[in-house]
């Protein structure tokens, strides 16, 4: 469906452009308080109104989008690198290496994802600066997300290890490390790329979940998670439909990623 793909590309392009230009197009700083206008309705000055502390919602949405959208790919990259290394080495070397590494992956997979995130985040200091909280949140996401991808990569590396071209490379005098990194790794690249794209929406949602529970990015720095936290008191927001804009944007971005992924997997 080309039109769906085009819409998805359009949504993502506009969102990325907006968050990259956040500093230029945001009418105010994300932390600036308009104390005389808390909980204001949308106006010319505040397109999405203000929150209960009088901060411009549109500026905070732009900055929050910037943080969530730029750091989710960074966490997805970390996860993909870990999955590539752990899964690649496990599948390529096989034997005890594979058993130990895949047992570790199974252990991580068997733990409930949300509780694992909460535990890992709770182990970290809570009184950290906003920027450090961003780094910690996405580092935890990146470090905990490798297990499922590593299993897929492991299976791929195992079959590549037994392939004819690996045998041919060995018969040419190729050493093990060179075979893994120069011959097998390029064949794992499409697999890792798919894992990377799949991880981005997962991490955006995971950060939003942590944010709702108050364990994500620390105030006053906004993220989609902290913006969505405002939705927890539905009675307080009745009659304020503009509060739902971050949620709608999250749905639009995650859906666009999914549309592009499905489009990539369909035979042309």
Partner 1 sequence: MESLLKLSLSAHYANKPAVLREVTFEIGRGEILGLVGPSGCGKSTLSLAILRLLHLKRGAATGSIEFQGRDLMLLRESEMRALRGKEIGLVLQSPLASLNPALRIGTQLAEAWRAHVKSSREDCNEAIRQMLSTVSLPSDDEFLRRYPSQMSVGQAQRVLIGMAVLHRPALLLADEPTSALDPVTQSEILRLFANLSQRFNMSILYISHDLLSVAAISHRVAVLSAGQIVECAETAQVFRNPQHPYTRALVDSIPLQALNELAGNQHATARTAAAGSSK
Rule CB under 8 A: which residues touch partner 1? 162-165, 167-175, 178, 182-183, 186-187, 189
Q: Which is nearer to partner 1, 36 or 164 (CB)?
A: 164
3-class secondary-structure state, position 208 = helix
Q: Can you list the alpha helix ranges (DSSP code H) found in the chain? A: 2-20, 22-25, 57-93, 95-110, 113-123, 130-144, 146-161, 164-171, 176-178, 185-212, 224-228, 234-237, 245-265
Please count the other Cβ atoms lying within 10 Å of the Cβ belonging to residue 6: 11
Neighbouring-strand partners of residue 55? 33
Identify the DSSP state of 49.
-
> Minimum distance from CB of 2 to partner 1 (Å)?
26
User: Which of 196, 173, 241, 160 shows the shortest CA–CA distance to 74?
Assistant: 196
Q: Which is nearer to partner 1, 123 or 162 (CB)?
A: 162
Q: Which is nearer to partner 1, 14 or 181 (CB)?
A: 181
> Minimum distance from CB of 96 to partner 1 (Å)?
16
Q: How far apart, in whole angstroms, are the C-alpha atoms of residue 195 and residue 80?
A: 7
> Minimum distance from CB of 199 to partner 1 (Å)?
22
Please count the other Cβ atoms lying within 10 Å of the Cβ belonging to residue 174: 15
Q: Which is nearer to partner 1, 32 or 174 (CB)?
A: 174
CA angle 240, 228, 249 (to 5 degrees): 80
Q: Which is nearer to partner 1, 122 or 171 (CB)?
A: 171
> Minimum distance from CB of 181 to partner 1 (Å)?
11
Q: How far apart, in whole angstroms, are the C-alpha atoms of residue 253 and residue 187?
A: 29
Q: Which is nearer to partner 1, 169 or 261 (CB)?
A: 169
> Minimum distance from CB of 193 to partner 1 (Å)?
12
Q: How far apart, in whole angstroms, are the C-alpha atoms of residue 70 and residue 76?
A: 10
> Minimum distance from CB of 154 to partner 1 (Å)?
18
Q: How far apart, in whole angstroms, are the C-alpha atoms of residue 44 and residue 21?
A: 20
Q: Which is nearer to partner 1, 112 or 173 (CB)?
A: 173
Q: How far apart, in whole angstroms, are the C-alpha atoms of residue 45 and residue 58?
A: 10
> Minimum distance from CB of 192 to partner 1 (Å)?
12
């Amino acid at each position: 469906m080309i039109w769906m793909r085009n819409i998805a590309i359009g949504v993502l392009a506009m969102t990325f452009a907006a968050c990259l230009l956040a500093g230029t197009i945001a009418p105010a700083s994300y932390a600036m308080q308009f104390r005389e206008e808390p909980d204001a309705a949308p106006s010319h000055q505040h397109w999405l109104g203000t929150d209960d502390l009088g901060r411009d919602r549109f500026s905070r949405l732009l900055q929050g989008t910037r943080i969530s959208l730029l750091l989710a790919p960074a966490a997805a990259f970390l996860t993909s690198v870990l999955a590539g290394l752990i899964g690649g080495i496990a599948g390529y070397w096989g034997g005890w290496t594979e058993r130990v590494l895949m047992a570790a992956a199974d252990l991580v997979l068997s733990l409930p994802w949300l509780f694992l995130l909460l535990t890992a985040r709770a182990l970290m200091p809570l009184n950290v600066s906003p920027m450090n909280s961003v780094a910690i949140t996405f580092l935890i996401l990146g470090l905990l997300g490798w297990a499922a991808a590593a299993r897929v990569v492991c299976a791929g590396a195992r079959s590549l290890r037994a392939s004819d071209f690996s045998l041919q490379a060995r018969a040419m005098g190729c050493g093990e490390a060179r075979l893994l990194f120069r011959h097998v790794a390029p064949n794992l690249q499409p697999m890792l790329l798919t894992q990377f794209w799949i991880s981005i929406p997962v991490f955006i949602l995971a950060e939003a979940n942590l944010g709702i529970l108050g364990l994500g990015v620390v105030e006053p720095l906004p993220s989609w998670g902290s913006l969505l936290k405002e939705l927890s008191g539905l009675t307080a927001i009745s009659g304020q439909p503009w509060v739902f804009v971050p949620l709608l944007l999250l749905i639009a971005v995650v859906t666009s990623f999914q549309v592009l992924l499905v489009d990539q997997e369909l035979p042309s």
